[in-house]
Structure 1
Amino acid sequence: MAERPTTNWRKGVAEEASKVAVGALDPDCACRGELFPAELLLETDAVLGAFEAELPTLADGDDARVFAAVERVVLALNAVNEAHDECAFETEEREQLCAYIDEALTEQGIDVAALTARSGLGRHELTDRWRDW
């Protein structure tokens, strides 16, 4: 299964906290805990978990159903972002979330490049229609 971006975000928070604890990093320079508060991680995981639960139902590759699933996950992530003052996901996090959605679909046998091309989109435009973050 595609690795959730939140897994890496948690690792970064833990690594930074560890460095602060042993004096290898000035606490004033530690920012990952602020960037990725526990609430944000939990909310994002809940959204991604719902998406993952839906993935097996998309294996037949019906374009409308796949796009509907992408729309749902993106709109739910929009809501998470809104709940965090529109700054939950910065550029790197946005890229990771989009890559995760693409990879998760690909692992289900969905040809994302062909899917988007059939709709006149580039592969990396999969989420653009609904994404506010």
Structure 2
Amino acid sequence: MFIPIQLDENSTEPLYAQIKSQLKTLILSGHIETGTLLPSIRELAGQLSCSVITIRRVYQDLEQEGLLRTKQGTGTFVAPVHQGERDQFRKRAVEEAIIAAIDAAKQMQIDEQELRDIFNEIVRLRMQND
């Protein structure tokens, strides 16, 4: 199974963190469904050109978080995720993006009303395109 993880080797964020974050997002967003068999540790390490140890750590951490289940001799599967967890994740992701936008606006000395105007215009344009 191909997992759409994009690594940025120029990022200051370690590969492990990039992989874990993106895999977690794919699971919590529902792009990788409950019960899906994930690639073996070796297979995913080969796909992403990283070490087996890195992928083992990602799988172990996500298993500790309750997002993955490993069955010896069978493989690693996506564990059931409750809808409430998915909703919280979605809300938190949007909140973090909005906070980053507000911080950028402050750095550019954009006042609250101008920021609201920019936000409303972008929402209007994006909603027309969908």
State TM-score, norm by structure 2: 0.33
Higher relative contact order (Cα pairs below 8 Å, separated by 6+ residues): 1
Name the one with the larger strand percent.
2
Say which one has the larger Rg.
Answer: 2
